[in-house]
Amino acid sequence: MGTTSPRGSFIAFEGGEACGKSTQSRLLADALDALLTREPGGTLIGARVRELVLSPGTVGLDARAEALLMAADRAQHVAEVVEPALRSGRHVVTDRFAGSSIAYQGYGRSLPVEEIRQLSMWATAGIWPDLIVMLDVPASEADRRLGAQRDRMEAEPASFHAAVIEGFRAQAAAEPERWVVIDGTGTIEQVALSVRTVVAERLQLRL
């Protein structure tokens, strides 16, 4: 009889704009020899969704339509990239996942949070990260890092971004066994060490 590979671990990075997710997800994926991916845009279909959702030229997009577009991107992402990799035994690190929909479309756009959660759960067929790492930086630091050139989400007012951060923190507080909050204001190396330490402890992975 053949043997099957043990299922890989699924790690998501979450947080507000310019918190360092892209850099830290890449560094962790390198350290784990994991598959690195992102949302939106982790597939060819998702790249088209990403362009539509983030382009400053997209005007008048209804909040519910935005939520559905993000769920569509996630469904394709899980079916095409995430689940096949996990099933083959590969670890997967993603720059954003369902926590972002709950924070951005739920808290940020004031849509029913539980409905957004259930929409993502349906889109992923129940696939959820084993560990979610939230990188937390003060609003003033995020604004400084962003600079002048901003996409459609980055250009939202400070009140929107404050609600989004509240959403991330609320999720982390509600599920401390799945979420970990890391200070993102240190150097890249300091934050990366904190990330590797918590991943090794929580998931019993060698790094």
What secondary structure does DSSP assign to 38-102, as a single string?
ETTTSSHHHHHHHHHHH-TT--S--HHHHHHHHHHHHHHHIIIIIHHHHHTT--EEEE--HHHHI
User: How is domain 10-202 classified at the CATH fold level?
Assistant: Rossmann fold (3.40.50)
Q: What pLDDT sits at residue 3?
A: 59
Starting from the edge strand earliest in sequence, which strands make up the sheet with 179-183, in order? 35-38, 92-95, 10-14, 131-136, 179-183
pLDDT along the chain (207 residues), means of 10: 79 97 98 98 98 97 98 98 98 98 98 98 98 96 90 96 98 98 97 98 92
Q: What are the backbone dihedrals phi and psi of residue 148, each rounded to the nearest 5 degrees, phi first?
A: -90, -35
Q: What pLDDT sits at residue 12?
A: 98
**Cα torsion 134, 137, 138, 140: sign:** negative
Q: What pLDDT sits at residue 207?
A: 83
pTM: 0.95
Q: What pLDDT sits at residue 2?
A: 52
